[in-house]
Amino acid sequence: MPLISSTYRPPLGFANGYMQSIYPTLFRRLATSHLQHETLELSDGDFLDLDWSCGYGKQLVIVSHGLEGHSRRPYVAGVVREANRQGYDALSWNFRGCSGRPNRLARSYHSGATEDLAAVIHHAQNQGYQHVHLVGFSMGGNLSLLYLGRDSVATAVRSAVAFSVPCDLKASAEQLAKRRNRIFMWRFLRDLRGKMTEKAQRFPGQVQVDDFHQIRNFRQFDDRYTAPLHGFSSALDYWARSSCLPYLSHIQHPALLVNALDDPFLAPSCYPRAIAQSSPWLHLELPAHGGHVGFVERGKDQVYWMERRAMAFIRQHSPDNK
């Protein structure tokens, strides 16, 4: 597909990737009290916490959050609200341990855990949804595109939209390790330390946190925790096997990848122009601005460009609209 010319234009004062990345977290608030909670039991003895917003239509939008996010983050809630407005049901799900309560096993979530997304999709199909669309942000975007390109895709899946995706996990980890991104790195490690401390108390033989303070970047964290807890030999092995980049050319469902050119988290390899140009399925949109899961717009109802863009693509590939 030829690259898509983006329609996103930042408001005055938001032509800065760092501002775009920080502002929504600090100032955007959307209602989530109406969501209906469900716990999905998994075959390995663990569970996933789901949030439903139903009664709007026969098609379902499944939303996957980012690293150390959860199903009620404003960027997730924005897509849920816009999907409902346009006649779609929505399901936002929490990665293992991200709903506010610890998961049961020593393992956690990671960028390549497509089996959990597959379990959510299978559950949705069992509820009667024959047409499912995926929306993912950051890690959730990598997970969604990796699922489409590497796994056996469920028959109900019709399209996918992914924003701010670290398609190349190694390069993105190196990007976040740079001095200019240390505030983001510090926040991620602070949150992850809390989770690893809780796991160390329950699984002292598998998780140790005595010297966690020495960890400064994702290379060290993934070598120490992610890789051994999830069956990888090292951080490099984990990144290589869990990055969606090598699998983008295998996608055979309509997929839209939106990565802002000023995203402070993304390396040059996360803008796969050549792959998109040779693929009949992958649509690539590269706005000049938007930061990481930003794409801020001004307005009383706090609708951001990214949820409008996601639903426009989903409508284009919805069976009822053909």
The region that residue 299 occupies, defined by phi over 0 for left and psi between -120 and 50 for alpha, beta otherwise, is left
Dihedral (Cα; 43, 46, 48, 49), 10-degree rounding: 130
Is 213 noted as a catalytic residue in this protein? Answer: no
DSSP code of 208? -
Q: For the chain, what is the total number of helices (H) and then of strands (E)? A: 11, 8
3: Cβ contacts below 8 Å, ≥ 6 apart: 273, 276, 277, 284, 285, 286
Q: Beginning with the edge strand found earlier in the chain, give each strand of the sheet holding 132-137 in spatial order.
A: 36-41, 47-53, 89-93, 60-64, 132-137, 157-163, 255-258, 282-285
192: Cβ contacts below 8 Å, ≥ 6 apart: 68, 221, 225
Is 263 noted as a catalytic residue in this protein? Answer: yes
Is 152 noted as a catalytic residue in this protein? Answer: no
Q: Contact at 8 Å (CB) between 289 and 15?
A: yes
**Cα–Cα distance, 116 to 303 (Å, whole number):** 29
Q: Which of 168, 292, 317, 318 is catalytic?
A: 292
HEC per residue, 100-118: CCCCCCCCCCCCCCHHHHH
3-state helix, strand, coil in the chain (%, to 5): 40, 15, 45
Q: Which of 164, 243, 263, 318 is catalytic?
A: 263
**Cα–Cα distance, 136 to 94 (Å, whole number):** 12
What own/partner pairs with CB < 8 Å and gap ≥ 24 does 228-235 have? Answer: 229/106, 229/107, 229/108, 230/107, 230/108, 230/110, 230/112, 230/113, 235/173
Q: Which of 138, 144, 164, 279 is catalytic?
A: 138
**How many Cβ atoms sit within 10 Å of the Cβ of residue 305?**
19
Active site residues per annotation: 138, 263, 292
